[in-house]
Structure 1
């Protein structure tokens, strides 16, 4: 019996497998696609944007350099290692096709940022992300079996039996990372609720006779939106038809040209279409991310429009949140309720993302009410506060879990503290341990970490800028679980450590 079977070898499933493998779990990944190298995952069609928070995940696990190489990124800005002030971001996203100006971001208003090698998002591809994660999964002993379509499952108090064709796989836990049309979600009986779509979206690679008719980048029009990408013929468009065309029939050349002319207001001509897919802004979410011994992550748990590139980044955050908690449960040192904190922490984030994409869809409708709101949003985005707010939401930099602590760092993604010896907090997180940091040399937390050395790495050394902290506890997913001032409260630390890592006697 495997500790965990993961269904889906996309970025979310592979990252979760890496996290579990790093923690010493026996993991099997089942993927229905029989081969890699699918055109939809390679550039240009597979292009995706990773937020700064997602890039931080790869950095902490030592996978950023391989990711940049696989993505064809020759140079990465980051920050000057000797800098004392974190620079403002140089690349930002959009809201409903209305681009943000990086110059309008107030860097001082971004919470708890320190100069770090990771302060920017990265443009990459699904192929690059999956290649890096598959290589790491192999390194930590994860087995991936392709061409396995899950057709059934049964669970009881001890485990789950997964049916894939004629084969059966037994596991203590099953995680569905198999996308928006998740088989696991349906077979396990998860309740899936939400709102129906306003538009059909199209992504295509085409031969455009007169590409000059289309403006580069996002163009929001009174009848929809289109996106002309830098790669010739790579076009996206949104048609406000209530999602009627999505997967209802195969898009023909004539249909695509008609839609493109309508949403662009031009006479553009398509000579040929090599690849095309459709999507909608349907926004749905499971009521819980856990059903007994079956859990969901990524698009299997929540679907929405791709506006603002939130889907992949939300799934990555799901995986790193779930990974260490499921590993702790497998190994028997998790306290009662630790695994349920996955839904408690991540479900509100997913709900917030769904509302964020709904708001963008509503602004883009071709009616006078939406046009009036759109004008108001443009005015807001023309301000420093408005741009900073939207950047905070899309980059993940403002997110904070409600962990009950009073210190303002608790629940946030830990800043990449740089120690005076030149090392960084991220350098200490490669092996997936929690980190207890004393920003002094007197090892005040050494006794409090005794008995948990396999779970929490204790570090005692000063930082270049400790942000007013005397000590902190960082979970394996990079979230600050406890922080205190210059005279740390050991009882508070012990409470936090017991909450997240179990008793010291384990």
Structure 2
């Protein structure tokens, strides 16, 4: 079946941040994409409250950094309203005020420590202990200076506006109810309650489930989803409180569990180690939140008088063994679930979408072989497994038993050293992500450094179109000749890199990761890398 016989090249189930980001990446790659979302509006339920550096870099490379910075400025006002700080009580990752410095050194890419270094299991990291001499921080560019404390709903709105600009079709109020995946395509069945709705079907080349931890797509497709069972019940909510004067601010560990108060007015989180909830889908009541907050905080007079938004969570940690079964794929929480501490799930999901989007578009439009999709699981599954273990380790440190509390004291001592803070903050940030790609150059497989070019631009600014990029710093005609035949999918930039005088060539995939690099002239090895990632070159007529 040819692509013209499909209604869409790809149907994406779920219009959360992961589904929207994936749809935009597919559209940049030329794919005809449809997003189905059962909700009629953006989900305002309180979820992740920050994005890490890796996600900020991805948004920067698509031209969205100004919107990200504006959203953070709005968040800062709410932070100041709570406690006069800029985020020290929240989970998240290292970040600084965009464009501002205070002259302190040593530190991050501007010679500064991060304004907020993050937390590990509620152990707050001291930004003054952070050593930012790791080149990965300097290579991150303007995204490392972006404010990152941003509610997930606001990120979803930013991505929704981007999708609108790209012409992505998003159907809200439409639920995926089933599908038939065959060798030559996927028949997707939907239902809507609106007038004239009811069951309908459409034909797509592929289906991607971005429909959350209880994914319908994953369940119907029969993906294996092994992992570890939950042992906690957690609540996260925005509420109105009475009698909260004795509550501590930020993360608090007590004899019965953990609670968080702030960093926004009315935001609370509790964790209790009494097993999973009996019914995760039941509405969260003020009485239920009050009881949990009193048990964990030991403050008997605190009362939740009104619930604005609330959700339950557990530490159920599971991961699909493969992210693809034929023409059905998974991304985000549909592929992996875990405890939500630090917003790691949102950032992990954006990374999935960034990795998958350009590959799936290339295959769908016939520019690359089906085998390219095999690299999606190969590259992203190990990243997901590390995040699951990262959250499991935090749960272990939060347990209230004596052995866990003894271990927590040891880890706290380690965390409050320069080496410990730097290690944890760097892991949280995502700046050291690397894929195991062919080639022995130190840059191969890493997120491309945001090089300053002699023409006044930066490398990240050249990736707004979502196309691959070949950087020719030395004006090497032989290098450019080896890239002949890829003009329909590769941008060639000839510009010197004053900060990397020895670099003679850099091939960056559409997701911003380096697929080939060389410090010698001529481009040896480049044709193989181009064909591996971009498919067969076009033959001139």
Name the TM tier (shorter chain): over 0.9
For residue 229 of structure 1, what is the aligned residue in structure 2?
A: 262
Residue 145 (1) aligns with residue 145 (2): no
For residue 214 of structure 2, what is the aligned residue in structure 1?
A: 181
Match of 1:213, SS? Answer: coil
Residue 194 (1) aligns with residue 227 (2): yes
For residue 11 of structure 1, what is the aligned residue in structure 2?
A: 17
Residue 39 (1) aligns with residue 44 (2): yes
Deviations 1:27-68 (A, max 9, x none): 1000011233x432xxxx356201111011111111121233
Q: TM-score, normalised by structure 1?
A: 0.94
Runs of 4+ with deviation above 6 angstroms: none
Deviations 1:276-298 (A, max 9, x none): 32111110111100011000000
Q: Distance in 1 between matches of 2:134 and 2:163?
A: 38
For residue 345 of structure 1, what is the aligned residue in structure 2?
A: 379
For residue 60 of structure 1, what is the aligned residue in structure 2?
A: 61
Q: Distance in 2 between matches of 1:338 and 1:467?
A: 33
Task: Tell whether the 8 Å contact from 2:12 to 2:35 is kept in structure 1 after alignment.
Answer: yes
Q: Distance in 2 between matches of 1:59 and 1:85?
A: 16
Deviations 1:2-33 (A, max 9, x none): 10000000000000110111121111000011
Quote how far apart the aligned CAs of 1:134 are. 1.7
For residue 27 of structure 1, what is the aligned residue in structure 2?
A: 33
Match of 2:265, SS? Answer: coil
Residue 127 (1) aligns with residue 148 (2): no
Q: Distance in 2 between matches of 1:26 and 1:250?
A: 38
Q: 1:149 to 1:333 in 2, by over 3 A?
A: same
For residue 531 of structure 2, what is the aligned residue in structure 1?
A: 498
Quote how far apart the aligned CAs of 1:324 are. 0.4
Q: 1:46 to 1:255 in 2, by over 3 A?
A: closer
Deviations 1:455-498 (A, max 9, x none): 1111111113127422111000000111111x145231111111
Deviations 1:332-365 (A, max 9, x none): 1213521110000001111110000000001111
Quote how far apart the aligned CAs of 1:101 are. 1.2
Residue 136 (1) aligns with residue 162 (2): yes
Q: 1:434 to 1:250 in 2, by over 3 A?
A: closer
Quote how far apart the aligned CAs of 1:114 are. 3.0
Q: Which deviates further from its counterpart, 341-350 or 124-133? A: 124-133
Q: Which deviates further from its counterpart, 2-11 or 222-231? A: 222-231
Deviations 1:86-119 (A, max 9, x none): 4343322110000111121111135363372111
Q: Which runs of 5+ in 2 are unaligned?
A: 1-5, 77-95, 102-106, 192-198
CA RMSD of aligned residues (A): 2.1
Q: Distance in 2 between matches of 1:467 and 1:178?
A: 46
Of residues 189, 202, 209, the one that matches 1:169 is 202
Q: 1:185 to 1:461 in 2, by over 3 A?
A: same
Q: Distance in 2 between matches of 1:15 and 1:319?
A: 6
Superposed, which structure 2 residues align to 1:53-452 within 5 Å?
53-73=54-74, 76-77=97-98, 86-87=110-111, 88-111=113-136, 113-114=138-139, 116-120=141-145, 122-165=148-191, 166-245=199-278, 247=280, 250-274=283-307, 275-452=309-486
Task: Tell whether the 8 Å contact from 1:247 to 1:278 is kept in structure 2 after alignment.
Answer: yes
Task: Tell whether the 8 Å contact from 1:260 to 1:268 is kept in structure 2 after alignment.
Answer: no
Of residues 497, 511, 525, the one that matches 1:463 is 497
Q: 1:287 to 1:119 in 2, by over 3 A?
A: same
Q: Distance in 1 between matches of 2:473 and 2:380?
A: 30
Q: 1:130 to 1:249 in 2, by over 3 A?
A: closer
Task: Tell whether the 8 Å contact from 1:439 to 1:469 is kept in structure 2 after alignment.
Answer: yes
Task: Work out the number of aligned pairs and report it.
Answer: 498
Q: Distance in 2 between matches of 1:331 and 1:475?
A: 17
Match of 1:169, SS? Answer: strand
Q: Distance in 2 between matches of 1:133 and 1:370?
A: 40
Q: Distance in 1 between matches of 2:140 and 2:201?
A: 50
Task: Tell whether the 8 Å contact from 1:193 to 1:287 is kept in structure 2 after alignment.
Answer: yes
